[in-house]
């Protein structure tokens, strides 16, 4: 028994048929076609499926698709409209990522932080990314890139 939901994904209205128990992550990847939220642990532990749900970071693997009815969902594809954001540029420049699997979730978590606190402390950055696992690079280059992007401001171009 499918149910049609309407949601806004990266500024575009979508009407999608969803099944009971289907997650927001599955709908985003398979029906909407965005690929930045990654399939990781599927338990909410790794943060690779992080999206912004009405501006707040959530684990898309833990959100039922029907819960997205009427909400604004933003993925990595939706935060930069004109090339990389200042944050993304600094992350590239400071080699904050290697494999990139965790990158979308971390960027979105930090994007949320920078929207709320344009000049965060290192501890605030660490707290913001605490739900995201990075197995390649470690967290110091990520924190450094966020602090550098905050010094430059604004947090994004789009």
pLDDT in tens, 81-123: 778 899 999 999 999 988 889 999 999 999 999 999 999 999 9
Contacts of 9 (CB under 8 A, 6+ apart): 28, 32, 34, 73, 74, 75, 78
d(CA 121, CA 136): 24
Going along the chain from its start, the domains and CATH numbers come out as 3-76 (3.10.20.30), 86-152 (1.10.150.120)
pTM score above 0.85: yes
Angle (nearest 5°) at CA 65 between 10 and 51:
40
pLDDT in tens, 1-40: 899 999 999 999 999 999 999 999 999 999 999 999 999 9
pLDDT in tens, 141-154: 999 999 999 999 86
């Amino acid at each position: 028994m499918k149910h049609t939901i309407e949601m806004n994904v990266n500024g575009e209205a979508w009407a999608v048929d969803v099944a009971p128990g289907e997650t927001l992550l599955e709908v985003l990847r398979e029906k909407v076609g965005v690929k930045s939220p990654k399939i990781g642990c599927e338990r909410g532990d790794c943060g690779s499926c992080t999206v912004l749900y009405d501006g707040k970071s959530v684990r898309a693997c833990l959100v039922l698709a029907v819960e997205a009815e009427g909400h604004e969902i933003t993925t990595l594809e939706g935060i930069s409209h004109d090339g990389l954001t200042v944050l993304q540029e600094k992350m590239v420049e400071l080699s904050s990522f290697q494999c990139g699997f965790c990158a979308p979730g971390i960027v979105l978590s930090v994007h949320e932080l920078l929207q709320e606190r344009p000049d965060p402390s290192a501890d605030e950055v660490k707290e913001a990314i605490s739900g995201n696992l990075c197995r390649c690079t470690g967290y110091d280059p990520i924190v450094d890139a966020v602090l550098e992007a905050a010094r430059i401001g604004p947090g994004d171009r789009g």
